[in-house]
Structure 1
Amino acid sequence: MNLSQHLDKEGILLSSEIIVKLERFASLLNEWNQIHNLTGAKSVDAIYVNIVDSLYPLTFIKKPKTLLDVGTGAGFPGLVLAIAQPDTKVVLSEPLKKRVSFLKYAAIDLGLSNVTVEAKRVESVEHDAFDMISSRAVTNTKLLLDLTSKVSDTHTEYLFYKGSRVFDEIEDVQHQLRYDIVQKNQRNYLYIKTEE
C-alpha cells in the first residue's frame, strides 16, 4: 500500500505536495536507519504505519500555532506533524545526538522552515508557553505534565500517544483535567484540552 492509500483509509486529508514530503521523509529515515538504528520501523511500509499513527490526531485536534514535541526520536510524531502543518511552528526536543543529527538533516532536506530542533531534554527547553505539547512513548502522563510545566500555561493542550497504560496514568491526574482518549488500532491518543 502506498502512503496515500494508508492516509485515505484513515480519513486523513493532505495535499499531494505534503504527501510527497512525507514519502521523502520515509525514504530518508529508512536510509539513515540502516546505519544509525534510529527507529524500530525497519521498512518504508513500517515507517508509513508510524506516519499514519502520528497524523491520525489531525482528524480530531484543534490545530495549534505552536507545538512542542517531547522526545521526538526519529521524528514521530513531531517532525511528521510539522510536515503536515507547515503553518505551525514546531520545536522538537530530543537529547540523543544521532537522532538530533537526523532531525536537523531531514528538516533542511525537506525545507521545513517551521521546525527548530532542540538537542536537549524537555526540562531545559526555554520558550513561551506552547499551544500544544505532544509526546509518544516518553514516560508517564503525570511526569510529562510536570516536565513541561515551564513551557505550558492554562491555554496549552496536550496530545500524548499512549498504549494501554493510559487508563491507569490518567487516574493520577484526571481530577484536574478535561480530556478525551481516542482509541485507534493499538493506540490510545490522550488529548488533554484547555478549560473552556
Structure 2
Amino acid sequence: MELAKAIESQKIVLSPLFYERADFFTRQLLLWNKVHNLTGATTYEAVQEHIFDAVYPVSFLPAVKTVLDIGTGAGFPGLIMAMALENSHFTLVEPLQKRSAFLTYIAASLHLENVTVLGRRIQEVEAKPYDLITSRAVTNTEELLSLSQPFIAKGTLLLYFKGEQVYDEIKNIFDYRIIQAPHRNYLIIQR
C-alpha cells in the first residue's frame, strides 16, 4: 500500500509533515515491536494499512476540540488521528506500560503538543466531557458505551472502529450511523 495514494484516493488532504511523521512512527513501531510485542503488525506494509484505517475517519468527522481514545494500544487510532488533526487535543488512554511508554516516546519525538498519554485504565481517568470518543479493538459496543459514559456530554460523538460483528452489537442503539469502508466499519453514535 502506498499510504499517500490511498489517503488521497479518499479525498483526504494531509500535510507533508503527516507523512513524515507516519513514516517515523512506522519505523519506530517496527523497531520497538521486535522487543516489546506492541502489535500484531510486523511489516511496514501492515503498519501503513493500520495508519490508513486510523486516519480514514478524517474524511467524515466534523471538527472537534477534544478527543478521548480508549485503549490506544500501539497508537491506533488516537495517535495517528492526532498527527492528522493538529487542532484537536487527544487524550490517549493505554493501561499497558510498554505501550504507554511507546506512545509517550513517539509524541515527544514528533513534538505532538496536542497529545496527552495516560498510562492507566479508563476507569481510573478523571470524568470530564469530550467532543469525540474513539476506540478500536477494545471490547464490544455495549461495554464501550459503559466505559465511555463518564466522558459523554450532549453532542459528544462516539466513533468505534468495528468489524463485521457491528450489526450484532447495535441492536439496542437507536441513534447511530455506520460508515462502511473496504476493510472496516466505523460506528458513529451521537449522544
Common topology (TM > 0.5): yes
State the Cα deviation string for residues 135-162 of structure 1 (Å, max 9, x = none).
0011111111111211111221010000
- The alignment's TM-score, normalised by the length of structure 2, stands at 0.95
User: How big is the shift at 1:60?
Assistant: 0.7
SS in 1 for 2:67: strand
State the Cα deviation string for residues 109-138 of structure 1 (Å, max 9, x = none).
111011111111112111420000000011
> 1:64 and 1:42 mapped to 2: Cα distance?
32
2:184 equivalent in structure 1? 187
SS in 1 for 2:143: helix
Length, aligned pairs only: 191
1:27 equivalent in structure 2? 27
> 2:185 and 2:3 mapped to 1: Cα distance?
22
1:87 equivalent in structure 2? 87
User: How big is the shift at 1:11?
Assistant: 2.7
> 1:43 and 1:11 mapped to 2: Cα distance?
26
2:96 equivalent in structure 1? 96
> 1:80 and 1:135 mapped to 2: Cα distance?
13
> 2:43 and 2:9 mapped to 1: Cα distance?
20
SS in 2 for 1:104: helix
1:6 equivalent in structure 2? 6
What is the one-letter code of the residue matched to 2:9?
Answer: K
**Retained in 2: the 8 A contact 1:6–1:48?**
no
> 1:186 and 1:82 mapped to 2: Cα distance?
22
User: How big is the shift at 1:106?
Assistant: 0.5
> 1:130 and 1:166 mapped to 2: Cα distance?
23
1:144 equivalent in structure 2? 144
What is the one-letter code of the residue matched to 2:185?
Answer: N
**Retained in 2: the 8 A contact 1:180–1:190?**
yes
User: How big is the shift at 1:63?
Assistant: 2.1
Superposed, 1:35-46 pairs within 5 Å as 35-46=35-46
What is the one-letter code of the residue matched to 2:58?
Answer: L
What is the one-letter code of the residue matched to 1:38?
Answer: L
CA-atom RMSD in angstroms: 1.2
**Retained in 2: the 8 A contact 1:32–1:38?**
yes
> 2:12 and 2:25 mapped to 1: Cα distance?
17
> 2:131 and 2:112 mapped to 1: Cα distance?
19
Query: Structure 2 regions of 5+ residues with no counterpart?
Result: none
Q: Which stretches of structure 1, 4 residues or longer, exceed 3 Å deviation after superposition?
A: none
> 1:10 and 1:45 mapped to 2: Cα distance?
18
* Percent pairwise identity: 43
